[in-house]
Amino acid sequence: MANTYTQIHIHTIFAVQNRQSLIRNDWCDDLYKYITGIVQNHNHKVLQINGMPDHVHLLLGFRPTQSLSELMKYVKQDSTKWINQNAFVNGRFSWQEGYGAFSHSRAQVPQVVKYIQNQEEHHKKRSFREEYLDLLEKFEVDYDERFIFKPVT
């Protein structure tokens, strides 16, 4: 795309199916590297990735050569296949349908990076559901309560 100049920063959040805590410390770094590779293979840039046993945060430097929904389809589809091929979980692993995506200015990137890096500390104070609802409200995203990630019971 000659003469196309952009600066697009997208923070995505996606959860394990049924919000199960399946992402273990002994392989999460490899998962993050694998997801980074998927993103890079689609010519985007990972600015930060981290998460918890039940969800992942991904901050992207996003190019307008592909739709976000298509990229997320590949991220979730290919990482699911990789997790299952490596038998990291008992049974079949899958990501929950859907994701959250929030845009940020360049000036906000350092704050978002720090926020993603500090997920463990952050979730000592609030649940994933609370975090997600806060982001939806902060970004004024209309949502249907029926389709919000349900707490694990």
The pLDDT tens digits for 34-65 are: 999 999 999 999 999 999 999 999 999 999 99
- Predicted confidence at residue 109, as pLDDT, reads 98
Report pLDDT digits (tens) over 71-91.
Answer: 999 999 999 999 999 999 999
Per-residue pLDDT at 1: 54
State pTM to two decimals. Answer: 0.90
Task: Give the H/E segment covering residue 128.
Answer: helix 128-138
Could you give the domains of the chain? 8-147 (3.30.70.1290)
Residue 17 CA from chain centroid, whole number: 13
The answer to whether the CB of 32 falls within 8 A of the CB of 49 is yes
Over residues 89-119, the pLDDT tens digits come to 999 999 999 999 999 999 999 999 999 999 9
Mind giving me the DSSP string for 52-116?
ETTEEEEEEEE-TTS-HHHHHHHHHHHHHHHHHHTT-SSS---BPS--EEEEE-GGGHHHHHHHH
Strand, helix or coil at 126? coil
Lowest mean pLDDT among 25-29, 62-66, 75-79, 132-136: 132-136
d(CA 89, CA 108): 36
pLDDT at 135 over 60: yes
